[in-house]
Amino acid sequence: MTEPNFATLVSRWYEENARDLPWRKPDVGPWAILVSEVMLQQTPVVRVLPAFDAWLARWPVPAALAQESPAEAIRMWGRLGYPRRAVRLYECAVAIVERHGGEVPDRLDQLLALPGVGTYTARAVAAFAYGQRHPVVDTNVRRVVCRAVAGQPDAGPTTRPADLVATEELLPLEPAAAALASAAFMELGAVICTARTPHCARCPVESSCAWRASGQEAPAGPTRRPQRYAGTDRQVRGLLLGMLREATGPVPQQRLDQVWTDDVQRARALAGLVQDGLVEPAGADAFRLVGDGPPQPVADLTH
């Protein structure tokens, strides 16, 4: 199968079968797409949907968020997970206002220069918000390309430069068609060409899939070992951040001490939150979400 035919078949399938998601609406702007892409990192769609709607209802444009504090972004993020993303979105909003007059830039180099915006997110915004031709490669896209073109059951845990090259070779030359194909590849990997139970009979390129032709089976186990949560620093960080997020002011150290009995682990988790720019001292014996009040001296967290 020639490369344009692959993209055409998957794009046609996408136009008929794509999930109805708010960030795919025709009138959705670049800011909403940037927000969705950041929220969707390592987070299922079902959890992102309510958070996305609430975020855009409160901050429909970057300037609205830039006028707030990073603490409000963390509060609004709630329990979506990986809360540093909330701070990065806040920093993005500030940078967009300061550097680009409040409009999300359309140049790839300018997108890459935004705080916390990496290779995937920058290309996703350029493609999905501005209809540009860029290889947008996430785990789902890598799996589709690896199976259909290379004939391998899995692409591995990380994106390599070769993955960008292989995906770009499949894109139509016309930018709008390429952007559509990028969305289609991603959707195909998310709902049809899944990691463990692919629905090959429903795939628009099954007849030409190199992996199907090889007769290989899907890997029996996950590419990456699932991360344990219970009892980890991540859990302790979440408990501490939850208490701070729900507070209306600084939280005394003695209240934070109640969330976890292991003093060493709790202190390590709190220090990590400070180091990550999510929490800051509020006096000698209290803490608050970063930016949730006037500047305070840095506390010594080593004892």
Is the separation of the CB atoms in 40 and 138 below 8 Å?
no
Is the separation of the CB atoms in 180 and 11 below 8 Å?
yes
Query: Any catalytic annotation for residue 174?
Result: no
- Helix 175-191, helix 3-17: angle, nearest 10: 70
Q: Which residues of 228-256 are buried (b: 16+ CB within 10 A; e: fewer)?
A: eeeeeebbbbbbbbeebbebeebbeeeeb
Is the separation of the CB atoms in 51 and 39 below 8 Å?
yes
One-letter amino acid at 303 equals H
Is the separation of the CB atoms in 146 and 155 below 8 Å?
yes
* Residue of 37, 72, 91, 187 marked catalytic: 37
User: Would you call 252 helix, strand, or coil by DSSP?
Assistant: strand
Strand extents, DSSP E, 191-281: 251-252, 279-281
Q: What is the DSSP letter of 280?
A: E
Is the separation of the CB atoms in 92 and 115 below 8 Å?
yes
Q: What residues are annotated to the active site?
A: 37
